[in-house]
Amino acid sequence: MRLSRSQEIYKEALTWLPGGVNSPVRAFKSVGGSPVVMAKGKGPRIWDADGNSYIDYVASWGPLILGHAHPEVVEAVCVAAEKGTSFGALTDMEVKMAKQVVDAVPSMEMVRFVNSGTEATMSAIRLARGVTGRSKIVKFEGCYHGHVDYLLAKAGSGVLTFALPGTPGVPESFTAETLIARFNDLSSVEELFDKNRDQIAAVILEPIMCNAGVILPEPGFLEGLREITKKNNALLIFDEVITGFRVAYGGAQELYGITPDLTCLGKIIGGGLPVGAYGGRRDLMEQVAPVGDVYQAGTLSGNPLAMAAGSKTLEILARPGTYQRLEELGAKAEVSIKGVLDEHGVKATLNRVGSVMCLFFTHSPVKSYQDALTSNTDLYAAYFWKMLENGVYLAPSQFEAAFISCVHGDQELEETVRAIERSIEALKKDNLL
Ligand SMILES: Cc1ncc(COP(=O)(O)O)c(C=O)c1O
């Protein structure tokens, strides 16, 4: 496989962009080697700068549930662009899109659009602190909510302590109000509430953890969080930036039948353009400025191009059969992949919900962040490169999800399974398996 043009572009990028990229994981640090530079996408496939084509399971990290350059979405963006790219004033399309989102997501009675998932979680937490008058928040080890200072916190030596900043540049005082609990462990949450009585504004989590691979909530976990937060007058915030419109039209809250107080969205609702949103009960959302006192604003929020792409994407997703088909595709992929792994005696764990999945190179089931960390990341890196050589573009990190789109079909699944077979054989030949 020739990657010379990718390498040339990356080399020049290193001069102008830190690490040659605009978001760290794109630099392929977890899998080694020089990143593949992408040039175009169409449907389920993506082409790099050297003209190699791949079946794409990254989907721009989740947004592209309709595949690349869906004709109806492209047309909607073009029509919007002709009328002007930004007004910084209310437009009809924002109202239409707000109605679509509120109609879809069970917990949402009102919504505010922002420009990224990071902005959505940051704003939802500001609102939670504003309405409760409390400052502490609970997040879960392994959940990612964007690059908000106090959400980039990881646990110290003991998990149930105040969080330490996860990066230089975040003062310890900024994470002092962040408490870390363990996913799928209600007692860790109860303990935090016991120790911090009447101080916790909100519990925020990805209802399905999708940033440590894919980790499903155990039965009773989300229900338990709902009860604990209610009992303690704290808000429950679902970060559905990945799961929203992905695991069901109404997100994980529809799938599991749990209604949070606030919900954060991003990715899919932008149809491939930059968008985020937060919303929830009307009494909470009416605390946001200009109705209420909790300030939050944005020059490009509700941008016409992003609203056009998002609105069209939701309109297409709302057509009958979408999520059933995604589930069928996901189930088929799961059965086929597990079949190939069994056949070749490869011990790995595949976690899946609908069209989002992760193959962990570990022998044990993955139900917690700590379980995910038992994965063999070197083996994943080798597998990643073999899959690339065999025409399949996976995330360049063990701890990311694979996304199937509505335009993946049997042909793509068959090619993928063949690529997995070839990759396993090559890894065995190299004595890596
Ligand atoms: C669950 C979750 N929340 C928030 C974010 C942050 O979104 P953005 O990258 O648009 O700021 C991400 C990004 O991957 C995410 O996966």
Domain end among 297, 317, 337 = 317
- Number of structural domains (the chain) is 2
Tokens of 283: 């009494």
Same domain, 400 and 311: no
pLDDT at 162: 55
Q: What is the CATH number of the domain that holds 77?
A: 3.40.640.10
pLDDT tens track of the chain, all 433 residues?
899 999 999 999 999 999 999 999 999 999 999 999 999 999 999 999 999 999 999 999 999 999 999 999 999 999 999 999 999 999 999 999 999 999 999 999 999 999 999 999 999 999 999 999 999 999 999 999 999 999 987 643 333 445 677 788 888 888 999 999 999 999 999 999 999 999 999 999 999 999 999 999 999 999 999 999 999 999 999 999 999 999 999 999 999 999 999 999 999 999 999 999 999 999 999 999 999 999 999 999 999 999 999 999 999 999 999 999 999 999 999 999 999 999 999 999 999 999 999 999 999 999 999 999 999 999 999 999 999 999 999 999 999 999 999 999 999 999 999 999 999 999 999 999 9
pLDDT of residue 160: 42
Please answer whether residues 420 and 57 qualify as being in contact, where contact means their C-beta atoms are separated by less than 8 angstroms: no
Alpha helices in 57-197 (DSSP H): 71-82, 92-104, 117-132, 172-175, 186-195
Q: What are phi and psi of 211, to 5 degrees?
A: -120, 15
Tell me the CA–centroid distance for residue 392 and ligand 1, in Å. Answer: 24
Domain co-membership, 123 together with 269 = yes
Question: Are the CB atoms for 329 and 355 separated by under 8 Å?
Answer: yes
Q: Are residues 277 and 423 part of one domain?
A: no
Same structural domain for residues 300 and 398?
Answer: no
* Residue range(s) defining the domain that contains residue 148: 71-317
Residues 258 and 242 in one domain: yes
Which one of 317, 339, 371 terminates a domain? 317
Query: In the annotation, is 56 catalytic?
Result: no
Q: Are residues 189 and 296 in the same domain?
A: yes
Same domain for 374 and 290: no
Q: Which of 56, 239, 261, 371 is catalytic?
A: 239
b vs e for 142-164, b when ≥16 Cβ sit within 10 Å of the residue's Cβ?
A: bbbbbbbbbbbbbbeeebbebbb
Out of 10, 54, 57, 144, which one is annotated catalytic? 144
Q: Does 229 share its domain with 104?
A: yes
Q: What is the CA angle 15-19-25, rounded to 5?
A: 150
**DSSP run (H or E) holding 326:** helix 322-343
If asked whether residues 324 and 400 sit together in one domain, one would say yes
Q: Write out the two tokens for 402.
A: 């694979």
- Indicate the residue among 317, 346, 375 that finishes a domain: 317
The pTM of the full predicted model, rounded to 2 decimals, is: 0.97
Pocket lining for ligand 1, CB < 6 angstroms: 61, 116-118, 121, 144-146, 206, 211, 239, 241-242, 266, 276
Same domain, 275 and 357: no
* Sign of the dihedral through C-alpha 133, 135, 141, 144: positive
Residue 113: count other Cβ atoms within 10 Å of its Cβ: 26
CATH code for position 389: 3.90.1150.10
Number of residues that this document lists for the chain: 433
